[in-house]
Amino acid sequence: MTDRPDPLRVRDVRFTYPGAERPALDGVDLDVRPGECLALLGPNGAGKTTLIRTITGMRAPDTGTARVAGDDPRWATTRSRIGVMLQSTAFPSHLTVRELVEGAAARAGRTARDVDDVLAEVGLEDLATRRSHRLSGGQRRRLQLARALVVDPTLLVLDEPTEGLDAESRRATWDHLAARRDAGMAILLTTHLVAEAGEVADRVAVIADGRIVANASPEVLVDGLPDRTIHLATDVPLDQARSLSGVDHVTATAAEAGSRSTLSITTRHPEGILRSLLASDPDASDLRVVGASLEDAVLAITADHPTRDVVDRPGGADARPGGPSRRSPTGPATMPVATATTTTSAETAPTGTDRTPARLTDRTPA
Amino acid sequence: MSTSTTPLSAAPTTRRARSAGPGAMTLLALEVRDEMRIIRREPAALFFSVLMPVMFYMLFVALFGREMPTGASRPVGTFMLATFGTYGAIVATMMNPGISLATARENGWFENVRVSPVPVGVHLAAKVVATVPFVAGILVAMTAASAALGVLEVSVTEWLALMAALVIGSQSFALVGLVVGALASPNAATAILNAIIMPAAIASGLWFPLETMPAWVSTVATFLPTYHLAQLAATPLGGGPWMTHLLVLIAFTGVAGLAAAAAWRRADA
């Protein structure tokens, strides 16, 4: 039906590291369509890095297929259509910005004609003759982006692209990419900043235990989490708030003697709880009711999947089950972004099916 | 999946058009150009890897180079072009690619190479090829020093044969550098490669003639590829039969190639 294959199509990819007991990738399916931005989220050790390595041609899967624009990324020619921004910002020293960008274009069979445009696009036009080892962290990031964009990629793979960038540069980066997406470039993004993923991605895929356990728009993922959190300053004691029907979880921010404490009450029925609270304490103040964030949703999804231990590997963190990992106890999934929310989610782990991720997949019909 | 446009069923014309990237030779040329730029722009490194062996040669020529070996028609200094030339050539071919690979693996640049359209083999080959001008530079500088010290007695043909033996023959030693670079950190790679080069140089008679050392060293020497490279390079200056030396070097290249492949598989796992 289509004359152009999808920028990315991953089908039933499985991969087990030599000597590992459990697979790092356990039947992954993933698509990214032209112009689409897909954020791949998941705890450390869930398989993100292994999947990125498979998609960028660094690794062949044991079984299954990964195709970029219809071709195997293990072929060098396929890789000329992938723009990749990896976490490491190292460059060979002594090469200039222009040489590095021209080099990337030439290796992909592109003419050097577009180099000036791309340098301007990422804001490096004034640093074209600077040698890479004299660049700041943010400038190195932009150089990476320029090298990825100069090949006019079908698929742009961004592995933690805005790490080390300030808010302004981060926004600027996504502004540049918006125009490219309008022109049909697809983006696969991994990031620890779940909020950023929610802002820029059309779709969020959550990977846990080597499987894609949710794949939907950020809105759909958040809607799947009915929790609301009520914050208010009140005289109502913690125990009384806990005893209200429909309350999942309460935390109290310690108050100074004599003053009111601030309660944070997690519930799926905020209206009833609020009525009871205000009846008990009409003077309650600083009232806020907030819905679940994408971060909460991702944590809830991954909490249902016992994670494996994480062993840092050179060149990227990924799960290497077996070996040294047996010595450490298996803990709950932790997103690096997790704050106190982690505890909350774990304590209030739902017994019902409301958070079952299976319902959260809204694959667009092909 | 319902859309069954499998990659391989794409129209052949489209496929050919899309696959038409730069050829392997173009990629190699691009890679070599960058390697050369990096080498050239690091004058300190250039200074040490070219000048050190040459100064070493000059020192030894000043001490022993004017002697005439029994039965030979030219001074020892000319023969030392083969032995010290071997030393300079293997330092350049082993150290540069090995340390550069170890560094790229450690700082993460190598991952960028692997996701680039350049096959890893081409990238590594470029590191090796980029040592050729280096080796040639060392040998030319040594020859100039030899002439300046008045110990150079060699015809153009003989000299070209010696150059060819060293430039081509030393390339297989780059494989050893790549083995170490694929497995060790940059600091460890430097130490390991020095630990290989120094004893091999002494035991192969690259610095002091084997006749001045205990007899067992000569026995050890016959097992060392460095010895055979020096002997092969000395052939045009009136050495003995060269076929054995060539065969040993070819066998060494094969073994080093297998070791490099194994090291790569291990680093890649």
DSSP A264-329: EEEES-HHHHHHHHHHH-TT-EEEEEEE--HHHHHHHHHHTSPPPP-EEETTEEE---SGGGGGSP
| Smallest Cα distance from A111 to chain B, Å | 11
Under an 8 Å CB criterion, which residues of B touch A?
A: 1-3, 5, 7, 10, 18-22, 27, 30, 34, 37-38, 41-42, 104-109, 111-112, 114-119, 269
10 Å Cβ neighbour count for B218? 15
Q: Which residues on A lie below 8 Å from B37 (Cβ)?
A: 94-95, 99
Q: Which residue has the tokens 């050190």?
A: B52
**A348 pLDDT above the threshold of 80:** no
Show the tokens assigned to B61.
């020529």
> Would an 8 Å CB–CB cutoff place A95 in contact with chain B?
yes
pLDDT score at B10: 37
10 Å Cβ neighbour count for B100? 24
pLDDT tens by residue, B229-263: 999 999 998 867 889 999 999 999 999 999 999 99
Determine, for residues A18 and B41 on separate chains, whether the beta-carbon distance falls below 8 Å. Answer: no
Confidence of residue A285 (pLDDT cuts 50, 70, 90): confident
Selecting from B1, B30, B41 the residue whose C-beta is nearest the C-beta of A106 gives B30
pLDDT score at B227: 95
Angle at A27 between CA A23 and CA A32, to 5 degrees: 125
> Would an 8 Å CB–CB cutoff place A79 in contact with chain B?
yes
CA A105 remoteness from chain centre = 28
Q: Over chain A, what is the mean pLDDT?
A: 80
Determine, for residues B21 and A92 on separate chains, whether the beta-carbon distance falls below 8 Å. Answer: no
> Three-class SS of residue B251?
helix
Confidence of residue A332 (pLDDT cuts 50, 70, 90): very low
**B7 pLDDT above the threshold of 80:** no
**A248 pLDDT above the threshold of 50:** yes
* Weakest mean pLDDT among A81-90, A239-248, B18-27: B18-27
Give the residue from A237, A217, A206 showing the smallest Cα distance to A335: A206
**Mean pLDDT across B65-91:** 88
Share of chain A above pLDDT 70, in %: 80
Confidence of residue A308 (pLDDT cuts 50, 70, 90): very low
**A165 pLDDT above the threshold of 90:** no
**A253 pLDDT above the threshold of 60:** yes
pLDDT score at B69: 75
pLDDT tens by residue, A34-68: 999 999 998 888 899 999 999 999 999 999 999 99
Strand ranges, E, within chain A: 8-15, 25-32, 37-41, 63-68, 82-85, 155-159, 186-190, 203-208, 211-216, 228-234, 247-253, 261-267, 285-291, 311-313, 316-318
pLDDT score at A329: 36
pLDDT score at A258: 61
pTM of the model: 0.78
Determine, for residues B20 and A71 on separate chains, whether the beta-carbon distance falls below 8 Å. Answer: no
Selecting from A2, A314, A365 the residue whose C-beta is nearest the C-beta of B5 gives A2
pLDDT tens by residue, A204-224: 999 999 999 989 998 888 887
**B110 pLDDT above the threshold of 50:** yes
- Of B153 and A303, which is predicted with more confidence? B153
Query: Residue A71 carries which DSSP code?
Result: B
Determine, for residues B7 and A314 on separate chains, whether the beta-carbon distance falls below 8 Å. Answer: no
Determine, for residues A88 and B108 on separate chains, whether the beta-carbon distance falls below 8 Å. Answer: yes
**A327 pLDDT above the threshold of 50:** no
Task: Compute the CA torsion angle A179, A182, A186, A189 (nearest 10 deg).
Answer: 50
Alpha carbon distance A92, A98 (integer Å): 13
Determine, for residues A91 and B114 on separate chains, whether the beta-carbon distance falls below 8 Å. Answer: no
pLDDT score at A3: 65
Alpha carbon distance A302, A332 (integer Å): 9
Selecting from A17, A94, A365 the residue whose C-beta is nearest the C-beta of B42 gives A94
pLDDT tens by residue, A120-134: 988 899 999 999 999
Alpha carbon distance A73, B115 (integer Å): 9
